[in-house]
Amino acid sequence: MRPFAYERPGDAEGALATMVRPGAVYLAGGTNLVDLMKLGVSAPDVLVDLSHLPYRDIEALPSGGLHVGALVPNSDLATHPAVRAAYPALSQAVLAGASGQLRNRATVAGNLLQRTRCRYFQDVTKACNKRNPGSGCDAREGEHHDLAILGASPQCVATNPSDLAVALSIMDASVQYIGPHGSAEISVHDLFRRPGERPDRDTNLPGGALITGVVLPELPIAATSVYRKVRDRASFAFAAGSIAAAVDVREGVVHDARIAWGAVAHLPWRAWTAERALRGAPATADSFARAADEELAGARPLRDNGYKVPLLRNLTVEVLREMTS
């Protein structure tokens, strides 16, 4: 690890001012950044410690819904009574990720901004367009069984590792931030990017932007939401595939459905096509399977990750059956 400067601003203005220095990066819980520094993937010149900023509360909004501060620890989010009651998939998603010790340190904003766990991104001896634009993508012909089958590009097949982001996707959440031109808000659907020609850019946030919180709108269907994760071992493992879902069934017919998949794309994959197919359809296993198949028609698996197509299909059918039985 090479030497770096350390700053601990006391307010957002100080943090933004420090970020104009070359090589400055934000530090929150450090559960991802410090690992990348040890691996040589990230070599910041200045660490801007955000731990003293006032973004640690979960508050009810006057219009309904919740405001979650950017520095709320993942453990606090998962156990908050209002989150468990109104947005259970969020709690389930957070508890499905990492260990208790890491959840105590990791923050909401840091979870959303964590970098991919693709082994080629983390190995500085390998070609990776996300880490070193223009160098190539060794993952396409290498070990890619856990990488993307949807929305990838010739430049990158990495996946987004966040469980939380998948659950937020079905909640229509938005992310508040302070950028070069003041305060702004962006939908979680617009926060993340497909790799395209610029896989080194994970999000659509402007450079130096400071996330201050996440807004969860009042959403009655979210109270029925579920998060399910498939992984190689029972704990502390990233997903091979996951689903966040909420469904409203009336007299045996799907009135509304919200589905997002994780570990299959560069971003949380909102299954818009499957949702449209389900609305007005009978709440049966056949309908659930047909909807999943329509969404997965666009999948482009590589040599060794085609198993994710039946995995997601079966996972979607099983979760929706359990929710509607």
User: What's the pLDDT score for residue 226?
Assistant: 98
Once rounded to an integer, what is the mean pLDDT over residues 99-107? 94
Average pLDDT, the chain: 97
Which residues, 6+ apart, have CB-to-CB distance to 240 below 8 Å?
146, 230, 231, 232, 263, 308, 311
The DSSP secondary-structure symbol of 140 reads G
Tens digits of residue pLDDT in 239-275: 999 999 999 999 999 999 999 999 999 999 999 999 9
Answer yes or no: pTM beyond 0.85.
yes
Q: 211: which strand partners?
A: 177
Q: What angle do CA 5, 9, 11 make, to 5 degrees?
A: 160
The contacts of residue 311 (CB under 8 Å, 6+ apart) are: 230, 240, 241
Distance CA 68, CA 49 (A): 19
pLDDT of residue 1: 64
